[in-house]
Structure 1
Amino acid sequence: MYGTLALFWTATGRGFPFGENDPDGDASLLRGLPAEAGAPLFAAVLVATAVAAVGMAGQPRVRLRGAPRTLLLAFGWTVVAALLLVVPDARLLTVAGYAPMLVIGAPFGWPDVDYAEIFTWPLANMAFSVAGGLLLARALLSWQFRTAGACVSCGRSGRARGWASVGSAARWGRWATYLAAAIPVAYALTRFAWLAAALLGWSDGHLEEFDGDAVVWVGAGLGAFAVVGAVLTVGLVRPWGEVFPRWVVGLAGRRVPVMLAVVPATVVAVFVTSASLGLLTSGVLWDLAAGEGSWLALPMLLWPAWGAALALATLAHYLRRRGACPRCGLSG
């Protein structure tokens, strides 16, 4: 479907949402991409991906071996990486961070924002890209498992060994989880310090461009939600992340569905990683880090590590809790 939309962009010369057509794309990896090149590039890649996906779903799928299989997998995973990490930028993470404030404050008219300036055509296409990338990744992974002679659902062809075993995943997953929780806490501390400085009048002009009341409180709100995210991240390795605690009315004592943790954590890992790639390569983050109030930007330099650590923590949580496969019956 998205490929059809890209064909429309190519045929009409209208609607391409990225590159030179994106007025707010300074921190995008696609910045500067002309529509004349971008639209047909998107169309060609997406249509080719659709054809490949149809081929994977056909009967000949199990016969593909050697170099053709490797090339098809390389193409597929390259497209997945582009959809998840190249097309999106920091705006998805920003909106995700602002979402609780926008939802809670909307009935009270706060914050005073124009929603049409937030939920834009480029943002919608980034969301489509992430959704498509995740769906393609799942389909590609199933095909990769099937053509390797493993279970199409879990990928196991025997008892899991090495890094994928339950014991090993518990060990390396713990380190990844604590790192993934520590970085947003560092980010939150700078936002709380910023709020304290503003309330106590300690900014003495050094944060003049950041000192608006609304900006400070929004920053503090983002810090608060970063702490909430860090706590939920720690839940990936804690008992209350596997069984609902007593204070969760109606669910206390029940097992937390694995995907209830895996899906949102995966999405956040994608958002963080894509945001960090755009910010670091565009120079936007470096300019912030070198200017006034640089300490506000310094924790953001750790975002690539945050995204990678959260992805690993999520994978470890899945490997540790997936249990016996309902399709093949294998466990471990």
Structure 2
Amino acid sequence: MLAERVRPASTAGRIAGRTRWWRRWPAWSGYAAAGWSLMYGSLGMYWTAGGGGFPFAPIDQAHRSGSVLEGSRSEVVAPIMAVLGLLGAVIALAMVRGIGSRRGAVAMIAVGWIAAAGLTLFIPDYTMIALVAFGPLLLVFAFTGVPGAQDGIGDILYWHRTNLIILFAGGLLWTAATLAYQRRVRARCQHCGRHGATGRDPSRQTLLRWGRWAVAVACLAPLPYEITRVAWYLGYPLGISPAFLKMMQDTPGMLEVGLGCAVASGVGGILTHGLVSRWGEIYPRWIWFKAGQPVPLALAVVPASIVSIVLVPAGLMMLWTANVRHGWALQIPSIFWLLWSAGLGGATYAYHLRRRSACRHCGQGGERDPSR
């Protein structure tokens, strides 16, 4: 049995009782990952037995996903899903209970990170970045109806695509569960990851320097995508054939969607600068109702982290399916989203370390020495 060495259970319990549920993620994420794995493993058993709805079965071109598992055979993949799901539920519960030797803990941590990476980064496609970008529109369409040829929201969030969202959510649960367990094994605070023997975080100046380099990467990487989409909207076939541009011009809304994505990417680049700017820490004067007040840490870290994660499967999908038959600009610029993700993720982490205060659970951290 691995002992919890961060805080006495009674103290941790009193603290947890005074915090919101999402702040207690180390306590419930393991159970949530186990429940999710049991649910998906049970579905795998159902599909193995011949049940309908296998989410990667061959389907018409308009409803295919870009997942690496798309088009796979249920008699091959479904049993693997069943075994991995049920085994994952057992491992997640073992993590929660702290069962196992030191060597077993290392193995469970490895399994946890493999599950987290597979479910969040490698199996999904561009669905998550599209959901982040067009989520507000989907809410509007739910009440007004979907314009164009689509037959309602169900024609956008069909089962093959919805399944990828479910898998992504499971990957996030496994990420949280594995991180909490890894910190527990290493006698770190499960909430902040600090350890009394590791010393302070890097200095503010060091973190700013790292952050500026990361922001530069995050802003430069999507430029090829932004430039090509704006050029197409203006009528220039940059990186594509004139015939393909004509097809897009004849398809209602196609060029407008590309332009919207390019504009959203550019706005995201501006916001990314906030991770290394004063206005990213203190509300500027032009936000009059908040001017001079500190920007909540989560307001910057949470959305930036989400975007940095969902960029990875979208970029990998373009890498695996790269096809320059109609021109290099259709997919090649999107491969640079992998660099965008790395830059945004690095800048966000540096911002988080630079601004985080003392942990309310372990008490470590606090005000930095201004000279550092």
Same fold at TM > 0.5:
yes
Q: Shorter-normalised TM-score: what interval? A: 0.7 to 0.9
Whole-angstrom distance in 1 between the partners of 2:145 and 2:176: 40
Cα distance, 1:250–1:294 mapped onto 2, change above 3 Å: same
Where 2:75 maps in the other structure, the secondary structure is helix
Instruction: Please point out which of 58, 69, 82 is paired with 2:118.
Output: 82
Match of 1:53 in 2: 92
Whole-angstrom distance in 2 between the partners of 1:16 and 1:232: 40
Instruction: Please point out which of 147, 155, 161 is paired with 1:123.
Output: 161
- 1:45 maps to a residue whose letter is L
CA deviations over 1:43-65 (Å, ceiling 9, x no partner) = 2222222222222222x45x742
Instruction: Please point out which of 202, 205, 208 is paired with 1:170.
Output: 208
Do structure 1's residue 15 and structure 2's residue 53 form an aligned pair?
Answer: yes
Match of 2:129 in 1: 93
Q: Could you tell me the TM-score, scaled by structure 2's length?
A: 0.76
Where 1:70 maps in the other structure, the secondary structure is helix
Match of 1:152 in 2: 190
Whole-angstrom distance in 1 between the partners of 2:245 and 2:297: 43
Match of 1:179 in 2: 217
Do structure 1's residue 304 and structure 2's residue 338 form an aligned pair?
Answer: yes
Instruction: Please point out which of 34, 39, 42 is paired with 2:81.
Output: 42
- 1:307 maps to a residue whose letter is S
- 2:162 maps to a residue whose letter is A
CA deviations over 1:214-271 (Å, ceiling 9, x no partner) = 2111211111111122122222222222222333354333322222222222221221
Cα distance, 1:298–1:8 mapped onto 2, change above 3 Å: closer
CA deviations over 1:28-76 (Å, ceiling 9, x no partner) = 2213321122222222222222222222222x45x742x2121111011
CA contact 1:29–1:277 (8 Å) conserved in 2: no
Cα distance, 1:74–1:221 mapped onto 2, change above 3 Å: same
Do structure 1's residue 188 and structure 2's residue 226 form an aligned pair?
Answer: yes
Match of 1:274 in 2: 313
Match of 1:316 in 2: 350
Do structure 1's residue 291 and structure 2's residue 293 form an aligned pair?
Answer: no
- 1:76 maps to a residue whose letter is G
Unaligned runs of 5+ in 2: 1-34
CA contact 2:276–2:351 (8 Å) conserved in 1: yes
CA deviations over 1:72-106 (Å, ceiling 9, x no partner) = 11011100111111221112223333334555678
Unaligned runs of 5+ in 1: none
CA contact 2:124–2:168 (8 Å) conserved in 1: yes
- 2:168 maps to a residue whose letter is V
Higher helix share: 1
Q: Could you tell me the TM-score, scaled by structure 1's length?
A: 0.84
Identity over aligned residues, as a percent? 35
Whole-angstrom distance in 1 between the partners of 2:197 and 2:278: 25
- 2:303 maps to a residue whose letter is P
Whole-angstrom distance in 2 between the partners of 1:169 and 1:25: 43
Whole-angstrom distance in 1 between the partners of 2:115 and 2:209: 32
1:202-241 equivalent positions in 2, closer than 5 A: 205=243, 207-212=245-250, 213-241=252-280
Whole-angstrom distance in 1 between the partners of 2:57 and 2:272: 34
RMSD: 2.9
Out of 137-146 and 42-51, give the one that drifted further: 42-51
Deviation at 1:274, TM superposition (A): 0.7
Count of matched residue pairs: 321
Cα distance, 1:247–1:50 mapped onto 2, change above 3 Å: farther
Deviation at 1:191, TM superposition (A): 1.4
- 1:84 maps to a residue whose letter is T
Whole-angstrom distance in 2 between the partners of 1:321 and 1:256: 10
- 1:174 maps to a residue whose letter is R
Whole-angstrom distance in 1 between the partners of 2:296 and 2:200: 25
- 1:81 maps to a residue whose letter is A
